[in-house]
């Protein structure tokens, strides 16, 4: 049987990230080869006009040699996103990553009628998050779920999250450990 290629996209910035602890607990339950992309270390740039113009030319010529992150995303069998809850959404680092991988012809394409056709291989994407207060899925998880299912072709999307960990700091470690236990014993 083929070995799964697991892509771990880490959008956390804190060395003691609680979200990363949850994501690592999940990774310990998955079988496959893990490639980690710690977004802070990639020094990605948001798309400026020059980058957009180059991309449009490259797509026109089907020249995808400069888009290794997009190819890696499209080729992964399983994707794990480590996403702290920021400003009712997700860290801007992850949006910049998304801009960098959202390459027409690699992760998505369009039918002659203009309908999106997902080109990603992944059978599942996990969205792992922690939030200081109440977790609201609408502007982060729901958005990624829509992208995955409607544009990337990744049908199975699962949210793993814990909330309120800054509201009850004395209970934070317990909340986290309970969730880690739940993840590793399911
Ligand atoms: C820039 C920033 C924005 C945040 N925004 C929110 C927020 O909108 N709602 C919330 O409940 N917690 C918010 N928090 C708290 C984090 O979600 C919480 O501390 C989370 O556990 C951080 O994850 P980490 O330990 O993996 O870095 C924010 C924290 C930071 C640093």
- pLDDT 10s digits, 53-106: 999 999 999 999 999 999 999 999 999 999 999 999 999 999 999 999 999 999
Mutate to test the pocket of ligand 1, among 21, 22, 82, 86 (most ligand atoms within 8 A of CB): 86
User: So what's the pLDDT on residue 144?
Assistant: 98
User: So what's the pLDDT on residue 85?
Assistant: 98
Q: Which residues of the chain have pLDDT under 50?
A: none
**How many alpha carbons lie under 13 Å from residue 83 in its C-beta half-sphere?**
32
Q: Is 12 in the pocket of ligand 1 (CB under 6 A)?
A: yes
Helices (H) and strands (E) in the chain, counts: 7, 7
Complete domains list, the chain, with CATH: 5-184 (3.40.50.360)
Q: How far is the CA of 106 from the centre of ligand 1 (A)?
A: 32
Ligand 1 atom, smallest distance to 82 CA: 26
User: So what's the pLDDT on residue 65?
Assistant: 97
Ligand 1 atom, smallest distance to 84 CA: 23
Tell me which residue of 71, 92, 105 sits closest to 140, measured CA to CA.
92
User: So what's the pLDDT on residue 1?
Assistant: 81
User: So what's the pLDDT on residue 35?
Assistant: 98
């Amino acid at each position: 049987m083929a070995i799964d290629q697991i892509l771990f996209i880490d959008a956390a910035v804190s060395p003691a990230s609680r979200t990363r602890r949850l994501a690592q607990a999940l990774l310990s339950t998955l079988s496959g080869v893990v490639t980690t992309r710690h977004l802070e270390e990639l020094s990605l740039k948001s798309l400026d006009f020059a980058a957009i113009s180059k991309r449009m030319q490259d797509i026109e010529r089907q020249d995808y040699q400069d888009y290794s992150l997009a190819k890696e995303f499209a080729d992964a069998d399983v994707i794990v996103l480590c996403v702290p809850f920021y400003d009712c959404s997700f860290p801007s680092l992850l949006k910049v990553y998304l801009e960098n991988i959202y390459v027409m012809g690699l992760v998505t394409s369009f039918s002659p009628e203009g309908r999106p056709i997902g080109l990603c291989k992944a059978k599942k994407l996990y969205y792992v998050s922690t939030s200081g207060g109440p977790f609201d899925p609408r502007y982060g998880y729901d958005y990624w779920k829509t992208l995955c299912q409607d544009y990337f072709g990744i049908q199975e999307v699962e949210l793993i999250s814990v909330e309120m960990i800054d509201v009850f700091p004395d209970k934070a470690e317990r909340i986290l450990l309970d969730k880690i236990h739940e993840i590793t014993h399911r």
